[in-house]
Structure 1
Amino acid sequence: MTRSGRHEEEPRLPVLLEAVLNVGSELELRSTLQHIVDSAAELCSARYAALGVVDPERVLLTELFTAGLTDEERAAIPRLPDVRSGVLGVVLHTARPLLLEDLSEDPRAVGFPPGHPRMRSFLGVPIRVHKEVFGNLYLTEKRGGGPFTGGDLALLRVLASQAGMAIGNARLYETARRRERWIEGAAAVTTTLLAGKPAADALMCVAERARLLADAAAGVVLQPTPEGGMEIVAASTPGDPGDLVGTAIAPGSPVLEQLLGGEPVFIDDSATDPRMTTHVRERFGPSMMLPLQSGGQLIGTLALPRSRGGPAYDAVDRLLASQFASQAALALVLADAQHDREQLAVYEDRDRIARDLHDLVVQRLFATEMMLESTRRRAANAPSGDTVGDELGRAVDELDSTIQEVRTAIFALQQPPTDAPTTFRGRVMRETGGAAVLLGFQPSVHFAGAVDALVPEPVAAELLTALRGALAAAHRRSEVGSIEVVVDATAERVRLTVTDDGRTDPGTRGTTVTWESAL
């Protein structure tokens, strides 16, 4: 460098040092990149400066940071420059600086989008993060009208080298923060699911948390359908999910084989990708479709589409989201298994109580009743006016009533403890279904009239109590082979009739119990 060249660079050295310090002081990646662009334009007296971030997998610019452009000028550029060809592609693929006096005369000057400012002088350098080319830093339109000099190139290379190290640190910091958020999200989902959420709430929890972590426009969970397709069963969006829930991917869809096979699917633009066939694809852009799979069991698929024109998912996004999906699938399986264990424990406990009541309490009460009945018959021959027989008769009646109430409790214990039906008709069917466990056969049930609409809750509760008592009494009779239950409702009254063919006294079969209430 000549003495005059050294004198020319000396005033810029403090600016360079200040720029390097500013670049190295930021850990947030976007702020770091904008500092690089602003510093480069100031150092080299460039009217315009830009830094393009490159996705190495697709050889595309994913973001462009600029200096010198107004918001209106940025809005007038419809797309990012093409780095697969042109002078930007030369800088990217050769990983070497490029200095041009007049860009318009170079045959390689292609790939710039419409609305891009007219440029003559050009200076571009690659930005490396370790051995990877992270992107391009380029300047255009040297102020004063002259070309960029070798001194400009030297300064820009120093800045690019420092920028590479700063970007590397910022990327590590950003990746660590993103990983921490995804890990916290997965832990929160696991905690929530293991707290005993219903299945529908559990799937919604996974969809909503994943949407927030991925900064997606929607988070949806799809599950396989009996026809061989997949259907959205849970959807989370910032607003109304609209017609997302119920949307199905038909059998034969190009993405279906991968999804059912447990393979992730990554899409650049849902609206234009031919593999996407649903009617909701038009509203979305980049998307990830991740299998919810644990131990070889496919629970469903987690889809995270972003809005049209949204940023593409990078490799870190894909990795962290895939790990989250695996963790969420494991949590769903564990939550389901825990629910089954809790249900089984409840069933076993209720069954044990029912057996104890039936085998011990009822038998002892029945034996006591027989002893009292025998005593009462002997007391019938007692002298006139003796009240022992009457008292024994009342004791027998009381024991008989107690036995019936205990049997009713046994029937109630045989009912499932959760997921009880809400309609009156369903509750009657539930009671008779539970009785079938002890009876050994299913009672027949007939309904007459609009029972669900006509019977109010207080009357329904009384009728169900009467039904339990009638079923328990029928079970106590010997040789019961069939029971018929009829519920007849009109606008004025509701009547319950329970008829069985059990033996009561020698030579007598069949009993009918009727319960009626005004409405």
Structure 2
Amino acid sequence: MLGVVLEQAHPLRLREISEHPRSSGFPPHHPVMHSFLGAPIVVRGRVFGRLYLSEKEGGAEFSEGDERIAMMLAAQAGVAIESVFLYDEVQARGVELGRRLAQLGSLELVARMLLTEDSSIGDVLEYAVEQARFLTGGTMATLMVLDEATGELVIRHAVGGEGAASLVGVRLEPRTSKSHFVMLRRDAELVPDLASDREINEGVRHLLGNPADGAFAPLLVRHRPIGALAVYGSSEGRPFTDDDLSVLQILANQAAIALENDRLTFLLRNLAVLEERERISKELHDGVIQSIYSVGLNLQGALSLMGTQPDRGARRIEEAIAELDNVVRDVRNYIFELRPRLVEERGLEAAIVELVRELEVNTTAHATVELAPRAGQVLPRQQEAHVIQIVREVLSNIARHAQPSVVSVKVEQRGGFFSLVIEDDGLGFDPSKVSRGHGLSNVEARVEALGGVLEILPRAGGGTRHSVRVPLPAEETF
């Protein structure tokens, strides 16, 4: 009889229970009942239970009024039940929303770390691994990088668990771990039971404390696998989910970008070194070596003249000495040009002072520097590097070609612009007619990168005036 109320979801009122077709008697020791009133407890079309009464006082049958009261009480019970379910759902959604916000915040922070110069590759990867563990609810996490020479995976970072630290540096031979196969298949994977998966490396699992389950995501660069990110041992009483796998893959993608950026930066630095070596080699060959060869010829000629024409031989020797002085000056200039990275590390003000000091050491010119207060604080670090290189190029050109006796460098702010002015009283030149080597072209390119304006004009009284103006943010004045 009770099942009829649940199945039909309608009230049931009987004068005598035993007369209903579905009546099957009573369990042993259950008191006999005659009259019956049952009302379903319904919430949004779903039956959650029933409210029933029997044996109305006085042996009378339950009335329609009794039925309405029972239905009202059942409806109130339904409201209470629905409130409990809604409260639990709101609580669960609040927890899930908190998880999602934490995931978004962590992913955004990893992305920002990729874009800032202050974060090293180690910092980015370490943070990505820790966030992979935290956001997926895992107890441990590892990041492995492919050694392309051997095909081995090298565990570069490991967090969580007592054995995590001992895993760093461990090398896994090709096709000996789950991470290898996930990487080769280029597809993330959930593993509910690590112990039963044949691709799992048991040695690693043992060092991690024999976790029960795991999730693995490949590190891909333009579909080329370079490593894998893995989490182990789900916590919080729930297994890893597809959502966890999606978060893990996003973090793996960010780690892959960080590794690829680091690789490309390394290659660019090597390329810059090679280009610099090629330039110096060419200039040494075309300049210093040719000059030394010419000195050698002069000295040979002088030697042959010393017996018959000593005066001419002496003049040849004097010419050779003068040429050697030029060679020494050129070599000093090359050394001067090799200093940019050293001075850049000291900041803008110290770098300019150092470059001017080098100019004085390597030439006979008297040089002065005038720096406005906070001159080294108004430009971003990258723009400072451009300014330092501009100063280096201009002073290098002055030392090599201008033959100045006085050089001045002035840095100030005028009308919202950073201003750099370098003047010399040397030979001067017409920038529209002079042959453009790498130096002047580099200066123009750097000024353009700064969004500034370069002017090269004759200086009153002789020489050249180099002027660079770079726009500053409105609040940057000094």
Both structures adopt the same fold (TM-score exceeding 0.5): no
TM-score, length basis structure 2: 0.45
TM-score, length basis structure 1: 0.42
Task: Please say which structure displays the higher CA radius of gyration.
Answer: 2
